[in-house]
Amino acid sequence: MTDSLMLLPCREFQNMRLVRIPRDFEAHEAFRYATGLIAQAEEEDPGCGWEEISELLESRGFEPVDFVLGPELGVEKVS
């Protein structure tokens, strides 16, 4: 079975993060669960940053993954 990954987008490209989804989550469950964890972190500390969010995600089995941001695609639709 291959790993499932989730991109956590951000308006500032350099702040996007990639995480590995725990194996016992389906994609839609992982999305909802991560949304809840991020909201919890931001509610507890409105000025929180990636470190606090990352710790919370990791404590629930999400694993940050290093990646390189590639060049922007110059097409309207990628098939």
What is the count of structural domains for the chain?
1
CA distances from 26 to 20, 34, 47 (A): 12, 12, 30
- The residue segments making up the domain with residue 61 are 5-65
Residue 33: its H or E element: helix 27-44
Q: Is 50 among the domain residues?
A: yes
pLDDT-derived band of residue 1, with 50, 70 and 90 as boundaries?
low
Look at residue 32 and tell me if it is in a domain. yes
Q: With respect to residue 70, please indicate whether it lies within any of the assigned structural domains.
A: no
73 inside domain: no
Confidence of residue 14 (pLDDT cuts 50, 70, 90): confident
pTM: 0.82
| Spatial separation of the C-alpha atoms in residues 56 and 37, rounded to whole Å | 7
Q: Is residue 22 helix, strand or coil? A: coil
Residue 25 counted as domain residue: yes
Do the domain assignments include residue 21? yes
* In-domain check, residue 38: yes
